[in-house]
Structure 1
């Protein structure tokens, strides 16, 4: 008799075991892959903020002060400051030449201050998305705000400890309406004072819009253009967290806010999708990752330029 030939291959049970093992290995590997991707995104965010910090320094070298938080005084309370809605822009536009975006800057200034000026949110370049102002971890970054208000980014400048109770007049941070803060004014030290931080961009809902990060529709106090250090990073404090006088903020779980407030009260809190904290550019140009568990007095001290605090342990 001719011996039977052995047939090679897997049995069904063996195949299922192999598939199960591969599935387990993928499940074990996936978190590591996600962590690696987030680490890369956080590094990219850090680099974006370093470039903004460098642009701020270059602006200071040219003008001998940091740019104003915002240019508009829509209530005409600050002598010599434009109160037209056409001036509703701030620090972001004026550092564009220092970020290799001179063409956008020139077009913006031509349309806002030219022979036939238009509102800042009506300029033809308002919808230009500038990657240098986007955190790659935020899936909503680069939103074009409803109402034709234009591009909304993830990085805002710090105005100080608390909300803009005085509608932006001489806040205790570096940026506010018509501010011209110099290095010499930062008495707490540039390594101890926050310059620029992150926010979360909130999606619009139908005809309702969230203005946080909308660079082309600033207010007297900077409103959508500034940050405070009142609440810790990534705060989810209910109802009393972010505020906007006209009510143009949309409350979400990750970025809660109060309804319309009287007296021109504004507040915006630093938040990110980075695990455990936010990136912050300091006035010396360095970028630090600040944990959301930081002691609140330390975080608050970073927001002021001349508070006399010693923020140890930050």
Structure 2
């Protein structure tokens, strides 16, 4: 048979009784249901693994801060003060983290920054000064936030001359999650105290006008909280500094331990995180550990104080 004749042969057709089988609608629905069940089972495990990784990174960053605080203590004879007034009119103040910038390998920021010259700070500049070493990866974080004036009903009764009744944005500030432990009182309450009583305000390790030493910790460094974390969902915080006219200004730098970590109905100036089960803290000896959100509030308060109380 010639090649041309081979091309002319008819193409065989399938027999009439032979069917080409595919998936039925029921089979497709069962397959989709099985796949959805597998995804539902694997997704929580995947999310838990990701959170565990973020918590480990948060712990590592806080440990870095804890080591930096130890170096600062060795260098200056005490832990940093909560804030340091930057101008003669006492309007602006540096935050405690400025004193550990060299130990976080951020000396350039300390050299370039001058509160008196740079506030009010614009958003672009604030974004550029965000420090990952002071952020918790688990939090939903903007790199900066706007500090606004205190509302009329909450303005301090002493300290500054309030000129306007309207709220205005005073400055954009770089965000930070890690805050000094001020103790068991709110730092912004200091504005209501006479000037001669402000030096004794705060019973924690990071307080105003005082460099607390390890020797001051009656319970011991390994049993005293030094630096905690706060989520942006409560009060956005900063490492840089504050304008005292701002809303909850002092609480942007430090936090209070009054009830329990992650308390959803408590004051916004307390410590809180997005970690399940509690919040990470760096302790005065440099180690980092999670403080459970089910801790007894009395024990929690004692751990935040320099002095040893009734619970020993």
Shift in CA distance, 119/2, structure 1 to aligned 2, threshold 3 Å: closer
Q: Does 1:91 align with 2:96?
A: yes
Quick one: distance in 2 between partners of 1:120 and 1:2? 86
Correspondence for 2:212: 181
Any idea what the Cα deviations from partners look like across 1:176-205, whole Å, max 9, x if unmatched? 1122111111121011110010112148xx
Quick one: distance in 2 between partners of 1:295 and 1:174? 21
Q: 1:1-314 alignment to 2 at 5 Å?
A: 4-5=17-18, 7-72=20-85, 83-86=89-92, 88-108=93-113, 111-112=114-115, 117-122=116-121, 125-127=125-127, 128-146=129-147, 147=169, 148-164=171-187, 165-167=189-191, 168-170=198-200, 171-202=202-233, 212-213=237-238, 215-217=240-242, 219=244, 222-237=250-265, 241-242=266-267, 255=268, 268-310=269-311
**Any unmatched runs of 5+ in structure 2?**
1-13, 148-168, 192-197
Structure number with higher strand proportion:
2
Quick one: distance in 1 between partners of 2:86 and 2:220? 29
Shift in CA distance, 288/309, structure 1 to aligned 2, threshold 3 Å: farther
Larger radius of gyration: 2
TM-score if structure 2 supplies the norm length? 0.76
- Larger displacement relative to structure 2 (222-231 or 293-302): 222-231
Quick one: distance in 2 between partners of 1:83 and 1:57? 32
Shift in CA distance, 172/218, structure 1 to aligned 2, threshold 3 Å: farther
Q: CA RMSD in A?
A: 2.7
Alpha-carbon shift at residue 143 of structure 1 (Å): 3.1
Runs of 4+ in structure 1 displaced over 6 angstroms?
none
Q: Is the 8 A contact 1:199 1:213 kept in 2?
A: no
SS of the residue aligned with 1:169? helix
SS of the residue aligned with 2:242? coil
Q: Is the 8 A contact 1:140 1:201 kept in 2?
A: yes
Quick one: distance in 2 between partners of 1:15 and 1:119? 64
Quick one: distance in 1 between partners of 2:223 and 2:244? 27
TM-score if structure 1 supplies the norm length? 0.75
Alpha-carbon shift at residue 227 of structure 1 (Å): 1.1
Q: Is the 8 A contact 1:188 1:309 kept in 2?
A: no
May I ask how many residue pairs the two structures share in their alignment?
264
Quick one: distance in 2 between partners of 1:137 and 1:182? 32
Structure number with higher helix proportion:
2
Alpha-carbon shift at residue 302 of structure 1 (Å): 0.8
- Larger displacement relative to structure 2 (38-47 or 117-126): 117-126
Quick one: distance in 1 between partners of 2:100 and 2:243? 16
Shift in CA distance, 100/12, structure 1 to aligned 2, threshold 3 Å: same
Correspondence for 2:153: none
